[in-house]
Amino acid sequence: MKGQRHNKPCHLRRPRGISPVTIRRLSLYLRHLEDLAEHGQTTVSSRQLGESLKLTAAQVRKDLAYFGQFGRPGVGYQIRELAEHLRSILGTDTVSNVAIVGVGSLGRALLRYRGWRKKGFQVVAAFDVAPSRVGKRSGNIVIQHISRLPATVRKGHIRMAILAVPAVVAQKVAELLCRCGIEGILNFAPLTLAVPEGVAVVAVDLAVQLEQLNYLVNTFQPGAEARWKTARAGQS
Amino acid sequence: MKGQRHNKPCHLRRPRGISPVTIRRLSLYLRHLEDLAEHGQTTVSSRQLGESLKLTAAQVRKDLAYFGQFGRPGVGYQIRELAEHLRSILGTDTVSNVAIVGVGSLGRALLRYRGWRKKGFQVVAAFDVAPSRVGKRSGNIVIQHISRLPATVRKGHIRMAILAVPAVVAQKVAELLCRCGIEGILNFAPLTLAVPEGVAVVAVDLAVQLEQLNYLVNTFQPGAEARWKTARAGQS
DNA sequence: ATCTGTGAAAAGATTCACAGCC
DNA sequence: GGCTGTGAATCTTTTCACAGAT
């Protein structure tokens, strides 16, 4: 360290070019901090954090240091404070509206999930085409026909959508979403979406994940030599 | 190339130390190849494959070359043949049994999902603790009480489990699974599991994924400068 | 001409190791 | 003692570029 003061209003840096991997780890740090906070802990060191998450302490410190100086030598990180910073970095310090498109069994599960709020997300609309689903309600959300999507998205300040429709229609629906001004898609359909510049896509293909696991199981049972560092590899 | 013959029974290499990222891409290659095959295409080049998946052609070739020589210069890859090789590498050329633990709305969705079979997985058992769920059937699977897990896992040649229980009990259940000899866990609970050496974990935290997306949306809308290469970053 | 496989170069990510703070 | 932040070193992954195959 080069004489920086640690008791100062450490303002949050927002550097360009942070890698996806780093951001993913920030989410994990936040998740674990929330856990620790609930258990009444107030302070945590990079080593502890690393141990729980199966990362090195240096990794943890470097990740956090990209965005500012949140720690105190000899002490560690204030849990509440660091969590606050991380939420601010990730943009989850304010609640974001989300739409779910496709209310099959997966869509329904995502719709019912009670954890979004605590994480800074609110599902404010759900769409489908099936007459058997349109009009039904889940919680306080009424499932609308997809034809109502453009109007609802535009009026509802919805910037992100969760896409849980069958693969065959996913690209079409994605295009509709993009035309309506959606800026981010969480894609559960098993294909790589083509979207215009400026629209972000994060894909979750459950079959792909299970294939990953299968590879690990088949490859590292024989020798059990964990050169792969399971933690790094697997635990998202 | 150094004079290798391309018309020979290119036997499959199985090198150690292939990175997780490479394996994930193999899954994506396979997924896309299956798609192409269904559309009647028989041959594909690394460039085409890369374009569809938003990767460079060199990346595709290098990934595949780790495992053998599957392509023909001037022609590309035989789709059927390459898909076969990939399945063999990923270990999905034979069907693997899987158990689902936790049959809440997410577990139910995973239980109902009709895509596992085609990908080489078969859900053969499901467990929960809630009396309201135990005994119910979904498809041809009867939900069993978790106390029956050890016996069922051991008798049923089940090496992998999908963990979809609430976070508070996830670690306990994971330990039970490990004691029963489970070798791989696909973890949907929002925490990092501690498991013994030799047990693989792949984690899917939906909130983390949405946080990733949120970061992308918030960070790259202003400048729209896609330095982050959305494809690499986002599309699993 | 088109395309693969691959060594070499470049880019990127992680770990080391230590100065300075508590 | 314990801990952070960070440059330097190391390790990993990606891209380049081209020889050789079809």
Q: Is A163 exposed, middle or buried (0-12, 13-18, 19+ CB in 10 A)?
A: buried
Nucleotides of D under 7 A from a protein CB: 1-7, 12-17, 19-22
pLDDT of A114-145, one tens digit each?
A: 999 999 999 999 999 999 999 999 999 999 99
Q: What is the reported pTM?
A: 0.92
In chain A, positions 93-122, which contact chain B (CB-CB < 8 Å)? 96, 98, 104-106, 108-110, 112-113, 115-116, 119-121
Compare A124 and B6 and report the one with higher pLDDT.
A124
Give the bridge partners for B78, in sequence order: B43
Q: Is A53 on the interface with B (CB under 8 A)?
A: yes
Residue A236's pLDDT band, with cuts at 50, 70 and 90, is low
Amino acid at A170: A
Strand C nucleotides where any atom sits below 7 Å of a protein CB? 1-7, 12-17, 19-22
What residues have CB less than 8 Å from B60, skipping those under 6 apart?
B25, B29, B46, B49, B50, B53
Report the 3 state secondary structure along B191-208: CCCCCCCCCEEEECCHHH
If you ran DSSP here, which 8-state letter would residue B172 be given?
H
List C-alpha distances in Å: A123 to A115, A116, A117, A162. Answer: 11, 8, 8, 9
Q: Which residues of A touch B203 (CB under 8 A)?
A: 234-236
Lowest mean pLDDT among A67-71, A205-209, B225-229: B225-229
Do the bridges between strand B160-163 and strand B184-187 make them parallel or antiparallel, or are there none, so unpaired? parallel
State mean pLDDT over B153-161.
Answer: 97
* Reduced 3-state DSSP string for chain A: CCCCCCCCCCCCCCCCCCCHHHHHHHHHHHHHHHHHHHCCCCEECHHHHHHHHCCCHHHHHHHHHCCCCCEECCCEEEHHHHHHHHHHHHCCCCCEEEEEECCCHHHHHHHHCCCCHHHCEEEEEEEECCCCCCCCEECCEEEEEHHHHHHHHHHCCEEEEEECCCHHHHHHHHHHHHHCCCCEEEECCCCCCCCCCCCEEEECCHHHHHHHHHHHHHHHCCCCCCCCCHHHHHCC
Between strands A200-203 and A184-187, the pairing is parallel
* A161-186 average pLDDT score: 98
How long a stretch of residues is chain B? 236
Average pLDDT, chain B: 91
pLDDT of residue B234: 64
Range B199-223 average pLDDT:
90
Answer yes or no: is pLDDT of A1 > 60. Answer: no
Q: Encoding tokens for residue B168?
A: 């508070």
Is B143:B103 a contact under the CB 8 Å cutoff? yes
Q: Which of A56, A64, A71 is nearest to A86 (CA)?
A: A64
Q: What is the mean pLDDT of chain A?
A: 91
- The band of B224, judged by pLDDT with boundaries at 50, 70 and 90, is very low
Residue for token digits 């609970």?
Answer: B189
Q: Please name the member of A191, A202, A214 whose beta carbon is closest to the beta carbon of B234.
A: A202
Q: If you average pLDDT over residues B66-78, what whole number do you get?
A: 97
Least confident stretch, A190-194, A202-206, B228-232: B228-232
Residue A222: pLDDT over 90: no
CA B27/CA B36 separation, integer angstroms: 14
Per residue in A18-36, pLDDT (tens digit) is 999 999 999 999 999 999 9
For residue B44, the SS3 value is strand
Task: Examine the pLDDT at A233 and tell me if it is beyond 80.
Answer: no
pLDDT at B110: 98
| Identity at A162, one-letter amino acid code | I
Measured torsion, CA atoms of residues A226, A228, A231, A233, in degrees rounded to the nearest 10: -150
Least confident of A24-33, A201-210, B73-82, B219-228: B219-228
Q: What percent of chain B has pLDDT over 70?
A: 89
Distance separating alpha carbons of residues A37 and A81, to the nearest angstrom: 11
Q: What is the pLDDT of residue B226?
A: 43
Q: How sure is the predictor about A12, in pLDDT bands with cuts at 50, 70 and 90?
A: confident
Token pair 């024989």: residue: A222
- Could you list the protein residues whose CB lies below 7 A from any atom in strand C? A 1-3, 5-7, 19-22, 55-56, 58-59, 61-62, 72-75, 232; B 1-2, 4, 6, 45-47, 57-58, 61-62, 64-65, 69-77
pLDDT tens-digit readout, A73-110 = 999 999 999 999 999 999 999 999 999 999 999 999 99
- Residue B60's pLDDT band (boundaries 50, 70, 90)? very high
CA of A32 and C1' of D5: distance in angstroms?
Answer: 22
Query: Does the structure show a pLDDT above 70 at A231?
Result: no
Distance CA A202, CA B218 (A): 14
Mean pLDDT over residues B75-99, rounded?
98
Average pLDDT of A33-45?
Answer: 98
Terminal CA-CA length for chain B: 31
Of A108, A121, A236, the CB nearest to B105: A108
Q: What is the average per-residue pLDDT within B163-174?
A: 98
Provide the CA A167 distance to its chain's centre, in angstroms: 22
Give yes or no for residue A224 having a pLDDT over 90: no
pLDDT at B235: 73
- Given CB atoms, is B209 within the 8 Å cutoff of chain A? yes
The residue-averaged pLDDT of A46-71 equals 98
pLDDT band (50, 70, 90) for residue B15: confident
> How confident is residue B193, by pLDDT bands cut at 50, 70 and 90?
very high
Average the pLDDT over B10-39 and give the result.
92
Would you call B35 an interface residue with chain A, using a CB distance cutoff of 8 Å? yes
Q: How far is A3 from chain B (nearest CA, A)?
A: 31
Q: What is the rounded distance in angstroms from the CA atom of residue A50 to the CA atom of residue A62?
A: 12
3-state secondary structure B126-141: EEECCCCCCCCEECCE
Residues on chain B touching A52 (C-beta within 8 angstroms): 192
Cα atoms found within 13 Å of the Cα of residue B167, Cβ hemisphere only = 15
Supply the pLDDT for residue B11: 72
